Amino acid sequence: MTLVAILVLIVILVLAIPVAAGLGWLGLVLNQLYSPISLIVTTGEVTWSTTTSFILVAVPFYVLMGEIMLRTGMAERMYGAIAQWFSWLPGGLMHSNVVACAVWGAPSGSSVATAVTVGTVAMGEIKKHNYNERLFLGTIAAGGTLGILIPPSINMVVYGAMTDTSIPKLYLAGFTPGLVLSLLFMATVLIACLWRPAWGGTPVVTSWGERIRTLPGLLPPLVILAAVIGSIYIGWATATEAAALGILAAFAYAAYERSLSWKVIGEIFEGTARTTGMIMAIVIGAYFLNVVITTIGLPNQIGTLVKSLDLSPLGTLMLIIVFYIILGMFMETLSMMVATIPITTPIVVAAGYDPVWYGILVVLLMEAALLTPPVGMNLFVVQGIRERGDLNDVIIGTAPFIITLFVMIGLIVAFPGIAMWLPNLLN
Amino acid sequence: MEATLDRLVAYSFPLARVSGWICGLLLTVSAFLIGLDIALRQIFVVTLGGANELSGYALAVSSSWGCTVALVHRMHVRIDSVYTHLSARVRALLDMVGLAGFIYFLAFVTFYAWKVLEQSIESNTHSISALGAPLAIPQAVWFAGFVIFLLVASIYLLRAMLAFAKGDLRRVRELLGARSVEEEMEFERESLGLAARGDK
């Protein structure tokens, strides 16, 4: 059964069938072969209950909020302000890249959008200040992945919905690792530039007056983040309701800035529908597959298989981490998550780990997947913005940050408290 | 035949655009209702009730109608690690197999979505909430979205097969091909209104 499932999955990978259909097919095949009763009749009911799930409403809400922020020009002003504040460090604007990605990625909830936004604004600075190009590109690719770790995060909503884990707790658990990882990325730049000062480029000239003047550029992402996260933790709103407040805050700010026109609104709406349709199609396929594999007992079988290996809890965890790192070299992250977490989560929880903590670990592994060649979406995105040279420059420049990311994964395994202290504190 | 199909394909773009507007509008209205609900709850300790339920319907409608929007824009995720290394002919073939597979799976979903709707109509089901909404209404719109998807996808598939038979691989790619990274970037940037600023 496990073998057949893996074989069908490989066929889907090789044939490049749309993931949504591929997951559905896998469900149909397993249903045909192993289920005592046909589960196809459940597709209607499962799809209705999934697509009206209030928890999952958070997904299009974050997409919509991100679209508003992207299309109303909030990014450039934010980068300008951050550049004023962080460029005095050895490595200059490379620190601004990481911080800008962290600040922007927080509300936007998507890695690719974060890397595109910050990358496009930052790219012109490489020549201007004579930075080491590879390292500079690496900061954008790696920084971009912070978007899914720092809450809110679409990946966390999907993880929470599929594993029945509290999304507010996942958000709380993501904060500290997000902060620590941002600092580790900055430390990586710092170490590289202390070792080879030439990489750090020429300093950015700034003054306190200039710093204060550009400060309002930082406001929109922070206000929106405060609306989304604040309303959850003062007890006003659930995770989904908070996302609705984020939309209202983003619309209000854009209207105040007079950057909304009918044309922009139309583009925002269409962009939202496009991404929502794509994500929800995968979710529909994944939920049907989930019904099938649960009924035929596939997670149990794989669980027994893992148990028969007689590994310690840590050994089991290592096995799963290695599995995700390898899979992550070839697969797109959201598809990889929905296809695998119904299987891996019960195994990890049975080994005695907390599902909230595991959610954060999975998100960190997805960040690695975005950066590891041959298929690493953020590498492609950064190369795409650059429009010249070779993809290898980006891969080499990103390598130190992948090592940093693995250090972070090691830290969170060794000290689960990094993620868990905040949710435990507020429990 | 070819001209008719081409006309139908051309119609799919405005269809996708208008569907997108409606989905976005529904979601925005839901967000406003939820915001209003939170404000009333906090300030006047009363609740509208039903805002959450309505936003669930907005998601259902956006899921089925958005599926077509994503199809028209070739947005549906495919794992292309092997795909990109194959010849144009094999890729075109895989494009068609992939879409046929999509239609096949969603045909099941659509048929059983109809069963859900039929059940709601026959027993006149209302939601178990303060709203007590007749479920047949949102379910009908939701179901219609899947039907539209099957129609549009079938037209695309037929047109692509015709092009393939004539050896027009370019056309197949235009209709169904997985986006290359360059196209993806171009698209993102265009839609963000960001000009390329890389120093060339």
- pLDDT per position as a tens digit, A152-199: 888 999 999 999 999 889 999 999 999 999 999 999 999 998 888 888
A23: helix, strand or coil: helix
- The complex scores an ipTM of 0.90
Tell me the pLDDT band of B191, cut-offs 50, 70 and 90: low
Whether chain B has a CB inside 8 Å of the CB on A231: the answer is yes
What is the rounded average pLDDT of the residues A4-22? Answer: 84
Whether B13 has a pLDDT exceeding 90, the answer reads yes
pLDDT of residue A66: 82
Tokens 């309701």 belong to which residue?
A: A241
Point out the residue among A116, A273, A381 whose CB comes nearest to the CB of B69: A273
Cβ of A269 within 8 Å of Cβ of B28? The answer is: yes
Cβ of B38 within 8 Å of Cβ of A241? The answer is: yes
At A416, give phi and psi (nearest 5°): -55, -20
Q: pLDDT tens-digit profile of A276-326?
A: 898 899 889 988 988 898 888 888 888 888 888 888 999 999 999 999 999
Q: Choose from A23, A123, A278 for mutation: most chain B CBs within 10 A.
A: A278
Whether B22 has a pLDDT exceeding 60, the answer reads yes
What is the rounded average pLDDT of the residues A372-387? Answer: 81
Instruction: Give bridge partners of residue B126 from the DSSP assignment.
Output: B134
Any idea of the CA torsion for A190, A379, A413, A148, to the nearest 10 degrees? 100
Cβ of B77 within 8 Å of Cβ of A237? The answer is: no
Q: pLDDT tens-digit profile of A47-76?
A: 999 999 898 898 899 889 888 887 877 777
Instruction: Quickly count: other Cβ atoms within 10 Å of residue B123's Cβ.
Output: 10
A245, B38 Cβ separation under 8 angstroms:
yes
Tokens 């303060």 belong to which residue?
A: B130
Cβ of A273 within 8 Å of Cβ of B62? The answer is: yes
From chain A, the residues in CB contact with B108 under 8 A are 24, 28, 40, 43
Query: Could you tell me which chain A residue has the CA closest to the CA of B70?
Result: A274
CB pairs under 8 A between A and B: 285
Taking only residues 339 to 378 of chain A, the set having a beta carbon closer than 8 angstroms to any beta carbon of chain B reads: 374-375
Q: What is the DSSP string of A94-111?
A: HHHHHHHHHHHHHHH--H
- Diameter of chain A by CA atoms? 73
Cβ of B27 within 8 Å of Cβ of A40? The answer is: no
pLDDT of residue B84: 80
Point out the residue among A17, A64, A73 whose CB comes nearest to the CB of B101: A17
Cβ of B52 within 8 Å of Cβ of A41? The answer is: no
Percent of chain A with pLDDT over 70: 99
For residues B58 and A60, give the distance between their C-alpha atoms in angstroms, rounded to a whole number: 10
Q: Choose from A14, A29, A30, A52 for mutation: most chain B CBs within 10 A.
A: A52
| Distance between start and end Cα atoms, chain B | 46
- Copy the structure tokens of residue A381: 């995105």
Q: pLDDT tens-digit profile of A256-280?
A: 888 888 988 998 999 889 888 988 9
Instruction: Please tell me what DSSP assigns to residue A227.
Output: I
Smallest Cα distance from B4 to chain A, Å = 26
Tell me the pLDDT band of B197, cut-offs 50, 70 and 90: very low
Point out the residue among A243, A277, A384 whose CB comes nearest to the CB of B185: A384
Mean pLDDT of chain A: 87
pLDDT of residue B192: 57
pTM score: 0.87
Any idea of the CA torsion for A258, A259, A265, A266, to the nearest 10 degrees? 130
Query: CA triplet A111, A115, A118: central angle to 5 degrees?
Result: 135
For residues A230 and B138, give the distance between their C-alpha atoms in angstroms, rounded to a whole number: 33
Taking only residues 283 to 342 of chain A, the set having a beta carbon closer than 8 angstroms to any beta carbon of chain B reads: 283-285, 288, 330-332, 334-335
User: Burial code of A175-212, b = ≥16 C-beta within 10 A, e = fewer?
Assistant: bbbbebbbebbbebbbebbeeeeebbbeebeeeeeeee
From chain B, the residues in CB contact with A241 under 8 A are 34, 37-38, 52
